Structure 1
Amino acid sequence: MEQTKKTSELADTALKAINDVKNELHEISIKNPELGYQEKFAHKLLTDYLQGKGFKVTRSAFGLETAFVAEFQSKAGRGRVVSFNSEFDALPGIGHACGHNLIAISGVGAAIGLKAVLEKSNIEGTVRLYGTPAEEKAGDGGKIKLVNAGAYNDVDVSMMVHPTSNAHGAFLPCIAVQEAEIIYHGRASHAAGLNALDAMVLAYDNIGLLRQQIPPTDRIHGIITDGGQAPNVIPEKTTGTFLVRGKTMKDLEDLRQRVQKCFEAAALATGTTLDIKWKDAAQNVNINERLAERYEYYITKQFGIKFPSRAEQNNYFGASTDEGNVTHLVPGIHPMYDIFPDPPAINHQRAFADAAKTDKAHEETIKALSGIALVGLDFLVDAGFAQQVKESFAKSIAES
């Protein structure tokens, strides 16, 4: 793909605007980790900054206290709507070990880049940034609630980037996940009765055995959140939280039925009763091929980064994200980029939280956010590309 002189100049405008604020972005990269739906510091910091940069900001958007929307519309007209997402919640006990401090500023930076183009040209278009809380809450994730509230109904594309290690690309898979909250009810006594802890342990063992019989792309994991109150009293109630993951929603649904039977069998064997609540699923990311190809083109062109082949990327293990739900509603991508942790670390480790604070991580974040900003620019100015994106999306939905 060759840029025209005009589009090249517009790209330079976007990249300059990003470069002009890169030190500010580093400064506001979240230093106060907060858990999902408690991100009050991040909410105020980011919304104040965006308002100061000339965005129209809606705080506590769509009924979520720590969600927000920041928007800028061209004087030439609304045009197509390009949206970005900023996550900013942390993990319990280990802070920003998934790099959401970097995801926060990546959405901000990309939005600032597109805003500069819309301010300085006669292009029709709108750039919108969503502040999306509680991504780490799986079935209770902020984007799921935003989707259900209609937040993305008038959006044309949705993009975000995610830091990781030893992986770089726009075709890296993110698989579907669904959370189950389970409760076993027994009967308490001194030495006999119906042991709710036995039921929970048996369910855990059942799932361990099931793992041998599922595809390597599927995952099941969980914790016992309440195992009883005293060792000399047979537990009458135990609780647990489990996550079930599948490569696609169909894979997830098939596995969920098998996991459900593991829970039910444990209740039957122990004479206890089972309450189970399945939360909303975070869907697999529906990667838009045209957007992904264009992202990799720009990252290679601007920064010389070489990507693994698409086939190689597809072999990477996929995490899960509520961005998947957005990408089944509108065309989207969720590229991942390497922040080169030193010492080596992976997401959800304490050392990754340390790596996400480094100058190197910030430098790689600027590259990644520049990529989605340039893809968004092409979507605004190139009607042919925008149509290709929409056709690719329609095809993917029809085949899912």
Structure 2
Amino acid sequence: MTRTGTDPLEVYTAYASATPSTPASDVAPVAAFPGAAPEVHARIAERVEGLRDELRALAIALFEDPELGFDEHRSVARIAEVLSRHGITPEIGTFGLETAFAASVGAATAAHTSETTGSAAPHFAIVAEYDALPEIGHACGHNIIAALATGAFLALAPEVEALGGRLSIIGTPAEEGGGGKEHVLRAGGFDGVDAAGMVHPSVGNQVSPITGSGTSGVRRIRVRYRGRAGHAAASPYLGLNALDAVVTAYQSIAQLRQHILPIDRIHGIITNGGVAPNVVPELTEAEFLVRSSEIETLKVLTERVLDILEAAALATGTTAEIDADFEPPYLPLKPNVLMNTHWARHLETRGRTVPLAPARPTQGGPSTDMGNVSWAIPAVHPALGLGGAPDVLPHNAAFAASTIEPPAIDALVDAAIALAGLAADYLADAELRAAVRDEFDRNGGVRRWEE
């Protein structure tokens, strides 16, 4: 990786003095963009309700047979089976990934010129993910994500030709680690797509605010310390203790936490601490996740962690082998308030209230590779609670179990209706599309991590 040598004080001062890029007051009201006709939305809701049993069965099947990232073969086959029953045959193994898939309806290409509008046909992508976590299965609810994405796509598909646009469903593997969406981006999977959206399960009855990203970018770092073995009792002075190095690094990172931004997070584990207590450890290893809710602050925090890892080697006479970004970095989610507002409008027709919040995160949060998509094209990633107990949190086996309960299926249906409704509005309303893109450009435009 490239080290920038950026002064943290400079970046942190700029962060503290910055104002939100898109406060809710700067976004035009939903009424300014009528979107698709009411009868289109009525048909979408009716179709999703008609799919309820199939979507429930899909969510349960994925829950009962969880698969890890890049190995979700049976999961993809189950999603494809549902799509095929409704006349959609997805291409599996797209973008150089065995467990990615894609299907499209509507205009032949994104560059297709609409006969009704005379302009290029708009292209909206509904994004699915379906990987599970080791040992605790679908404890992040990706079975719900896959089912609701499938439902939203199938519900809107019959309307797309009349709307003069194109609709895709893009299946992206390995969100929990591996950066499937970044791999799809690099392979051109989102080329020609104008906007994208997905919905993520959340806690209790929470709904993510209309404004604010709520996610952090994340970078993954592995370090291996090499010392010299020796007899821990007879001749410890002949050894160079690699365990001292990794412990020094871990403790120094703990001390760093006192002096980082509230939007920052660092956590890690020692994966190898030596082989025997009577042998001076010759080789130790650790892995850390570095998170921040802004791209620039993520870069600075990563450099501070790398300095610590190198200093621990210097302090102990060992050598450090550092592997930064051994998986693609995840960027902080770039919110699109206008699209989120339209999603919220349709969710509210289902009796769910969507709150407002500051346009800027006030503390650190989880990470998603949908953040990478959100910096390539306008995208949304709202969250909707599954109706379980408020203390049943993601990345816990109890959360996985909650994904197949009746309240979770109700949330799935409501989220699918709202997501399909947003996509319909986007495809139907040229002024809405222009405003969405304007917001995206005003908030920094296209950025890739390589910058």
Contact between 2:130 and 2:145, CA under 8 Å: does it hold in 1? yes
Structure 1 residues 361 and 317 mapped into 2: Cα distance closer, same or farther (>3 Å)?
Answer: farther
Higher percent of residues as helix: 1
Tell me the CA shift for residue 337 of structure 1: 0.7
Q: Partners in 1 of 2:47 and 2:343 — Cα distance?
A: 19
Q: Partners in 1 of 2:309 and 2:150 — Cα distance?
A: 43
Pick the aligned partner of 1:182 from 213, 218, 223: 223
The AA in structure 1 aligned to 2:203 is S
SS state at 1:267 partner: helix
TM-score (norm 2): 0.83
Q: Partners in 2 of 1:64 and 1:189 — Cα distance?
A: 46
Q: Partners in 1 of 2:385 and 2:357 — Cα distance?
A: 17
SS state at 1:84 partner: strand
Aligned to 2:102: 69
Aligned to 1:17: 47
Tell me the CA shift for residue 74 of structure 1: 4.7
Instruction: Within 5 Å, give how 1:297-336 maps onto structure 2.
Output: 297-300=345-348, 302-311=349-358, 314-315=361-362, 317-336=364-383
Q: Partners in 2 of 1:322 and 1:91 — Cα distance?
A: 15
Pick the aligned partner of 2:78 from 42, 45, 59: 45
Tell me the CA shift for residue 359 of structure 1: 1.2
Aligned to 1:109: 151
Structure 1 residues 5 and 296 mapped into 2: Cα distance closer, same or farther (>3 Å)?
Answer: closer
Matched, 1:284 2:360: no
Aligned to 2:12: none
Instruction: Within 5 Å, give how 1:233-252 maps onto structure 2.
Output: 233-252=279-298
Deviations along 1:220-265, whole A, 9 cap, x unmatched? 0011112222222222111111100011111101111111111111
Aligned to 2:20: none
Aligned to 1:227: 273
Residue correspondences, number = 395
Pick the aligned partner of 2:196 from 158, 180, 200: 158
Q: Partners in 2 of 1:306 and 1:53 — Cα distance?
A: 32
SS state at 1:261 partner: helix
Aligned to 1:390: 437
Contact between 1:98 and 1:348, CA under 8 Å: does it hold in 2? yes
User: Please, what is the CA RMSD of the aligned residues?
Assistant: 2.1
Q: Equivalent pairs: percent with the same residue?
A: 35
Structure 2: runs of 5 or more not aligned: 1-29, 115-119
Tell me the CA shift for residue 70 of structure 1: 1.7
TM-score (norm 1): 0.94
Contact between 2:80 and 2:89, CA under 8 Å: does it hold in 1? no
Contact between 1:144 and 1:322, CA under 8 Å: does it hold in 2? yes
Structure 1: runs of 5 or more not aligned: none
Pick the aligned partner of 1:168 from 184, 189, 207: 207
Contact between 1:56 and 1:71, CA under 8 Å: does it hold in 2? no
Tell me the CA shift for residue 33 of structure 1: 0.9
Structure 1 residues 154 and 97 mapped into 2: Cα distance closer, same or farther (>3 Å)?
Answer: same
SS state at 1:163 partner: strand
Q: Partners in 1 of 2:297 and 2:333 — Cα distance?
A: 14
Contact between 2:203 and 2:389, CA under 8 Å: does it hold in 1? no
SS state at 1:303 partner: coil
Tell me the CA shift for residue 312 of structure 1: 8.8
Matched, 1:203 2:249: yes
Contact between 1:162 and 1:337, CA under 8 Å: does it hold in 2? yes
